[in-house]
């Protein structure tokens, strides 16, 4: 029997994707670990690898196809001795929307012979990969996944496979090896979801314009931000923070790092400050799940990075325990890979709180939208020279405004205020960040 290749779930939230590009053609010989296609998810464009050896039989989904449901058969691999004729018929290909075709066909003349009654709609493809299967006690996994798991000390029996018939593939091992030990953080909140908003009415305009198709990432951003503003009661707290001491420390640290290919930014120091503040005020390092509160024992900071298709938030895991130089080096690498679309799901999904800095654009102050299931996000404005009271006298100082957005279901106003106060003290007395 030909091996069916199904649209994989490349992230826990993925329900459908775009088959952006085929990297093979029918008749090509492939082996486990070979790249087959590029798939655009709701967060990034990722590569899909083969999990078995054989010959590409039929490509059932054309490249560029949008909305391919997870679990849909997109291609087949023929094993040794099989011929293309033995491949399953194109029934595995995603069926076009029957409602729209039926509507379009109504004005057409009736066929000469009576039409057969319409077949019932095919059941929706599963939103998650099939459960991992086993032959006796043997776990099904690709050879590449087995080698990676052995090298990283991962028990394959603890993983769920996203490959054909639940087979464990490289992406499953990569996700397990880097996933922080807080599985609930990446899951959706347990509270009952609100009804999906009605689609926007079609817009017609005589004004010259260009219609740009939304990427999966942009659609996801729109949906999640709408849900956040509708379901999460935001409370906003703003403080003005004097930056002079932090700027002086940054200059001294960069002078000490002159021999390395590394330069600390103000943002690197602010990431560290937020992480330390969250550990000192643990009441704000939480997630709300409807019937319980998750209290985290470390601070994983999601940092907003602008990329061509939208916004992504790579995570500095355990930022409270890392040196400022380690935070800077990791942030530099993650930001570059984010812009290249090369982040793995565990590198941008999760996090205990977020930081968004728009100071480089000259924005003085703004209110950021919380990224559930996180319960807070820190919005950083531009540092600017302002009149400022110093030791009881009016002087001049470099000052920035920082605004914390808090989920009021999980964080009381007084606790949010303590976090903002702690963050301000750490930034204004930054030696505590490098001690």
Contact by Cβ (8 Å): 428, 241? yes
| Residue owning tokens 């085929």 | 22
- CA nearest 381: which of 236, 234, 240? 240
For residues 406 and 228, the answer to whether their CB atoms sit within 8 Å is no
Structure tokens at 20: 């952006």
Say how far apart CA 369 and CA 228 lie, in whole Å: 7
Q: Give catalytic status of residue 346 as yes or no.
A: no
Is residue 23 exposed (0-12), middle (13-18) or buried (19+ Cβ within 10 Å)? middle
Strand partners, 115: none
Surface-to-core class of residue 277, CB atoms within 10 Å of its CB (0-12 exposed, 13-18 middle, 19+ buried): buried
Q: 316, exposed or middle or buried, with CB in 10 Å at 0-12, 13-18, 19+?
A: buried
Let me know if 130 is exposed, middle or buried by CB neighbors in 10 A (0-12, 13-18, 19+): middle
Which is nearest to 377 in space by CA: 274, 305, 243? Answer: 274
The Cα 8–Cα 161 span in angstroms is 10
Instruction: Return all residues near 432 (Cβ < 8 A) that are at least 6 apart.
Output: 276, 426
Which residue carries 């050896």 as its tokens?
A: 53
Task: Find the DSSP H helices in 87-215.
Answer: 98-105, 143-152, 170-178
What backbone phi and psi angles, to 5 degrees, belong to 177? -70, -25
Among candidate residues 5, 344, 388, the one with its CA nearest the CA of residue 175: 344
Given 209, 234, 346, 408, the catalytic residue: 408
Residue 342 has φ and ψ, to the nearest 5°, of: -110, 10
How far from chain centre, in Å, is Cα 320? 22
d(CA 183, CA 49) in angstroms, rounded, equals 25
Name the one residue in this structure whose structure tokens are 């102050």: 365
Residues with active-site annotation: 408
């Amino acid at each position: 029997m030909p091996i069916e290749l199904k649209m994989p779930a490349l992230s826990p939230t993925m329900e459908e994707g775009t088959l952006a590009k085929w990297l093979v053609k029918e008749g090509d010989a492939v082996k486990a670990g070979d790249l087959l296609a590029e798939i655009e998810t709701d967060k990034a464009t990722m590569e899909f690898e083969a999990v078995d050896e054989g010959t590409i039989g039929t490509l059932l989904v054309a490249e560029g196809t949008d909305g391919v449901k997870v679990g849909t058969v997109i291609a087949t691999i023929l094993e040794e001795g099989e011929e293309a004729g033995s491949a399953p018929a194109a029934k595995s290909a995603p069926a076009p929307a029957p409602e729209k075709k039926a509507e379009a066909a109504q004005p057409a003349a009736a066929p000469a012979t009576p039409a057969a009654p319409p077949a019932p709609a095919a059941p929706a493809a599963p939103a998650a990969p099939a459960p991992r299967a086993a032959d006796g006690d043997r776990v099904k996994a690709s050879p590449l996944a087995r080698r990676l798991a052995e090298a990283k000390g991962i028990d394959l029996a603890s993983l769920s496979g996203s490959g054909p018939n639940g087979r464990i593939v490289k992406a499953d091992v990569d996700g397990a090896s880097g996933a922080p030990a807080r599985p609930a953080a990446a899951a959706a909140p347990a509270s009952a979801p609100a009804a999906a908003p009605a689609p926007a009415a079609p817009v017609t305009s005589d004004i010259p314009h260009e219609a740009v198709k939304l990427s999966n990432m942009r659609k996801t951003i729109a949906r999640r931000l709408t849900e956040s503003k509708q379901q999460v009661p935001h409370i906003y707290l703003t403080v003005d923070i004097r930056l002079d001491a932090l700027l002086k420390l940054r200059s001294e640290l960069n002078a000490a790092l002159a021999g390395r290919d590394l330069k600390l930014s103000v943002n690197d120091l602010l990431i560290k400050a937020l992480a330390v503040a969250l550990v000192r005020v643990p009441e704000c390092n939480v997630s709300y799940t409807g019937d319980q509160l998750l209290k985290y024992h470390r601070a994983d900071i999601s940092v907003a990075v602008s990329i061509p298709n939208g916004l992504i938030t790579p995570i500095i895991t355990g930022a409270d325990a890392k040196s400022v130089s380690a935070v800077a080096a990791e942030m530099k690498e993650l930001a570059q890979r984010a812009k290249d679309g090369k982040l793995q799901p565990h590198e941008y999904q999760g996090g205990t709180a977020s930081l968004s800095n728009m100071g480089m654009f000259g924005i003085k102050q703004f209110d950021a939208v919380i990224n559930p299931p996180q319960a807070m996000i820190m919005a950083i404005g531009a540092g600017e020279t302002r009149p400022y009271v110093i030791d009881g006298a009016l002087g001049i100082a470099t000052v920035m405004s920082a605004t914390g957005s808090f989920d009021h279901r999980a964080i009381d106003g007084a606790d949010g205020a303590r976090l903002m106060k702690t963050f301000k003290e750490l930034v204004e007395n930054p030696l505590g960040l490098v001690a």
